[in-house]
Chains A and B, each alone.
Chain A
Amino acid sequence: MSFTESFVDVVGGKVQLLKGGSGSPVVVFHHDIGNPGWLPYYMALAENHTVYVPSHPGYGKSERPEWARNVRDIACIYQRLLKDLGLSTTAVVGLGFGGWIAAEMATMCHHEFSHLVLVNAMGIQPTRGEIIDQFLISTLDYVKAGFADQAKFAELYKERPDVDQLVQWEINREMTTRIAWKPYMFNQAMPHLIKAVTVPTLVVWGKNNRVVPRSCGERYQQLMPKAKLEVLEGNHYLEVEKHHELAQLTKSFIAGK
């Protein structure tokens, strides 16, 4: 299934945007390691929806907002992007770090979301365990830590990723450093603000997630009035390793089934 790539000006910077499919809109926010391309998960969603996958400002081919200091700054830029795209009501899927951005957006302006899907989302402090600290390990080890099956890693990134891929990860990681260094991967206000988010929310967690502890998912589910938690076999990158199951869950949830 085909997709298009375009660049849109938002808050003074260019944002790389992938788009494909048709139907009611679904916006997917990618992980902190960046978006590896038009994934089978997006293709499955695109069978029923118009799927938008922007690269976060400072990630992929999107311009870096040098002024941005925290994840809420990115969420603000994305609020403007949704308005410019004419998406007055849309479903939003946040993967990992992208889940944090989606949660921040929901706390700002939750009436714009029809559905919220948080997949292994960061952004809230775990009550048990810790979010793995990528800044203490190499990006290669960090990415691999999120795969249950290393063969799936190799399939997507090659056994020995190209240097260009390493450089792209480096650019993305620099941006993560700029906006999520401290506190690491959560917002202390999140447990308070997220309580008021009444959007129907599906929290999905990898049963053996080694990057973000399940206690984060449980907190989101417990704090949000209309959230339910689904646990899938797998690790952090469910959209790669369990793309079929995750797509089914996502589509059923958005369809209200």
Chain B
Amino acid sequence: MHLMYFTEQPMSAYPKEEGDRYGYTALLFPNKFFDAAEGSRLYNERLEEYKLVEEVGYDGIMLNEHHTAPFCMQAKINICAAILGAITKRVKIVLLGNPLPIADNPVRLAEELAMIDMISKGRLVSGFVRGGGVESLQANANPAFNRERFEEAHDLIVKTWTTPGPWRWEGNHYQLRVVNPWALPLQKPHPRIWIPGVSSRETIVWAAQHRYPYIALNLPIEESKNVWKIYDQTARESGYEPGPAERGYLIRCHVAETEEKAIRNAREFMWMQGEFTGLTHPVWAAPSGYLGPWARRAMAELRAGYTHVRGANASLERQMQNLTLIAGTPKTVIEKLRIIMEETRPSILALYGNDGRINHEDSKTCIRLTGQEVLPALREIGKSLGLESPFDLNTPVSLAYSGAQAQKPAAGAAAAN
């Protein structure tokens, strides 16, 4: 098992009533409600918590990036990742991920990621995402070319990492006169690439075609199973047998000393409803052209207000019932996670521990209890179910590097250590 800690790093100090008044908390929600003094406190509390995450035995820290919204303060995950590279020693730094289409120079991303990999001595997992619609709008990156830009930026970054320069890139969306960065990743052939998603079929297929592990973000069990059906079928068509090493899962999971306290804190997940969960703006979340033609009719009806997002604003109780949100003492949490692990068989499990206004002390308690009591049990369950992670199996970084060219990520890291 690879067990990671995650939080959205919310700007939880904004006035909730203002969000309610506007009816949305992204893009046009005025940043006059951002409090930099509180922001400074929150960033530093998160860094303290990440150090504790390593201490109590997690394998990785997962980071993600959003823009122009209080539900996530990570406007540039590479900055946080670089800090983690220096202040932690052992955990993997798992970026899920850099939003490629909003980057105008992917080679610069490749350089930043290479720096993080070297500073962390080979602990980077470099996930990539398309970014939400709000990211397209705030960066003014054309949503109609989002997927094309995602794929081209990915190809360019991997080539930058693996093909000695100088060379020229004259692509459809990116043109670079000279690609020859003097910063290359420590891990060879390149850092692992994992792809998170919320069940968009094209992304699952693309990930499977590359043999990149897909991290299903907080889906109900049945939807996760559908994801794996698509992934596994594509994998077999691509010539390899998929398994738990290709499967990741993120679940909101808050742990406290008592059931009551855990559930009280878990309500904060509801309060800080983000782009994908609650206050989704139907126009901004998926601008025209962002999704394929398959989504056109449904999105047209949604944007016109004829329909509403399925499952939006589901109650805490409902979410706890369908196991998309888990809260409790270590004992109860383990049993619920066991069901998810048995049903969907991921070897990469991200526990989204804290959100909203859950305070620093309770966040640390959650991390400590999870590390001390939950993670050992999950490792046992994982073992009994044969859930071996990409690191356990030293799998190749991608289909392109399967077979004779299989990577040896530990070699570079060991040399640096």
Decide if the interface of chain B is mainly helix, strand, loop or mixed.
Answer: loop
Judge whether A138 and B305 touch: CB under 8 Å.
yes
Measured between beta carbons, the chain A residues less than 8 angstroms from B140 are: 181-182
Judge whether B142 and A177 touch: CB under 8 Å.
yes
* A135-B287 Cα distance, complex, nearest whole Å: 7
Which B287-325 residues have C-beta < 8 A from chain A? 287-289, 296-297, 299-301, 303-306
Interface string of A104-135 (1 = CB under 8 A from B): 00000000000000000000000000000001
Which A133-172 residues have C-beta < 8 A from chain B? 135-140, 160-161, 163, 166-167, 169-171
Which B119-166 residues have C-beta < 8 A from chain A? 137, 140, 142-145
Q: A137-B283, A170-B296 are in contact. Are A177 and B303 (CB under 8 A)?
A: no
Measured between beta carbons, the chain A residues less than 8 angstroms from B297 are: 163, 166-167
Beta-carbon nearest neighbor of A142 in chain B: B283
Asked whether B242 is an interface residue with its Cβ less than 8 Å from the other chain, the reply is: no
A174 CB contact (under 8 Å) in B28, B288, B305, B306: B288
Measured between beta carbons, the chain B residues less than 8 angstroms from A140 are: 303-305
Judge whether B300 and A177 touch: CB under 8 Å.
no
Chain A's interface size range is: 20 to 34
Asked whether A173 is an interface residue with its Cβ less than 8 Å from the other chain, the reply is: yes
Which A170-200 residues have C-beta < 8 A from chain B? 170-171, 173-174, 176-178, 181-182
- Give chain B nearest CB distance to A252 CB in angstroms: 39
* A140-B289 Cα distance, complex, nearest whole Å: 17
Beta-carbon nearest neighbor of A173 in chain B: B288
Judge whether A177 and B287 touch: CB under 8 Å.
yes
Judge whether B142 and A182 touch: CB under 8 Å.
yes
Measured between beta carbons, the chain A residues less than 8 angstroms from B305 are: 138, 140
Measured between beta carbons, the chain A residues less than 8 angstroms from B352 are: none
Q: A173-B288, A174-B289 are in contact. Are A163 and B296 (CB under 8 A)?
A: no
* A138-B299 Cα distance, complex, nearest whole Å: 10
A167 CB contact (under 8 Å) in B137, B287, B296: B296
Asked whether B284 is an interface residue with its Cβ less than 8 Å from the other chain, the reply is: yes
* A176-B301 Cα distance, complex, nearest whole Å: 19
Measured between beta carbons, the chain A residues less than 8 angstroms from B144 are: 174, 177-178, 181
Asked whether B412 is an interface residue with its Cβ less than 8 Å from the other chain, the reply is: no
Judge whether A166 and B288 touch: CB under 8 Å.
no
- Give chain A nearest CB distance to B104 CB in angstroms: 12
Give the one of B137, B143, B145, B283 with max A CB within 10 A.
Answer: B283
Beta-carbon nearest neighbor of B284 in chain A: A136
* A176-B142 Cα distance, complex, nearest whole Å: 11
* A174-B290 Cα distance, complex, nearest whole Å: 9
Asked whether B282 is an interface residue with its Cβ less than 8 Å from the other chain, the reply is: yes
Decide if the interface of chain A is mainly helix, strand, loop or mixed.
Answer: helix
Measured between beta carbons, the chain A residues less than 8 angstroms from B282 are: 138
Measured between beta carbons, the chain A residues less than 8 angstroms from B299 are: 170
Judge whether A138 and B304 touch: CB under 8 Å.
yes
Beta-carbon nearest neighbor of B299 in chain A: A170
Judge whether A170 and B137 touch: CB under 8 Å.
no
A163 CB contact (under 8 Å) in B143, B289, B300: B300
Q: A137-B283, A174-B289 are in contact. Are A166 and B301 (CB under 8 A)?
A: yes
* A156-B136 Cα distance, complex, nearest whole Å: 33
Judge whether A139 and B142 touch: CB under 8 Å.
no
B288 CB contact (under 8 Å) in A135, A160, A163: A135
Judge whether B143 and A177 touch: CB under 8 Å.
yes
Judge whether B142 and A163 touch: CB under 8 Å.
no
Which A5-22 residues have C-beta < 8 A from chain B? none
Give the one of B27, B144, B287, B288 with max A CB within 10 A.
Answer: B288
Q: A181-B142, A182-B140 are in contact. Are A138 and B303 (CB under 8 A)?
A: yes
Judge whether B137 and A136 touch: CB under 8 Å.
yes
Judge whether A136 and B283 touch: CB under 8 Å.
yes
Measured between beta carbons, the chain A residues less than 8 angstroms from B301 are: 163, 166
* A71-B297 Cα distance, complex, nearest whole Å: 26
- Give chain A nearest CB distance to B321 CB in angstroms: 33
B289 CB contact (under 8 Å) in A160, A177, A182: A177
Which B10-43 residues have C-beta < 8 A from chain A? 27-28
Measured between beta carbons, the chain B residues less than 8 angstroms from A178 are: 142, 144-145, 289
Give the one of B28, B297, B303, B306 with max A CB within 10 A.
Answer: B303
- Give chain A nearest CB distance to B141 CB in angstroms: 9
Measured between beta carbons, the chain A residues less than 8 angstroms from B284 are: 136
Beta-carbon nearest neighbor of A179 in chain B: B144
* A178-B282 Cα distance, complex, nearest whole Å: 20
Q: A138-B282, A173-B288 are in contact. Are A167 and B142 (CB under 8 A)?
A: no
* A171-B299 Cα distance, complex, nearest whole Å: 11
A135 CB contact (under 8 Å) in B28, B137, B306: B137
- Give chain A nearest CB distance to B25 CB in angstroms: 16
Judge whether A139 and B143 touch: CB under 8 Å.
no
Beta-carbon nearest neighbor of B307 in chain A: A163
Judge whether A166 and B137 touch: CB under 8 Å.
no
Measured between beta carbons, the chain A residues less than 8 angstroms from B289 are: 173-174, 177-178
Measured between beta carbons, the chain B residues less than 8 angstroms from A182 are: 140, 142
Beta-carbon nearest neighbor of A67 in chain B: B172
Beta-carbon nearest neighbor of A182 in chain B: B140
- Give chain B nearest CB distance to A220 CB in angstroms: 26
Interface string of B237-256 (1 = CB under 8 A from A): 00000000000000000000
Interface string of B264-296 (1 = CB under 8 A from A): 000000000000000000111001110000001
Give B contacts to A, CB under 8 Å: 27-28, 137, 140, 142-145, 282-284, 287-289, 296-297, 299-301, 303-306
9 closest A-B pairs (Cβ-Cβ)? A166-B300, A177-B144, A173-B288, A174-B289, A181-B142, A138-B303, A170-B300, A178-B144, A177-B289
CB<8 Å pairs between A and B, sample of 21: A135-B283, A137-B283, A138-B282, A138-B303, A140-B303, A140-B305, A161-B304, A163-B297, A166-B303, A166-B306, A167-B296, A170-B288, A170-B299, A173-B288, A174-B144, A176-B288, A177-B142, A177-B143, A177-B289, A178-B145, A181-B140
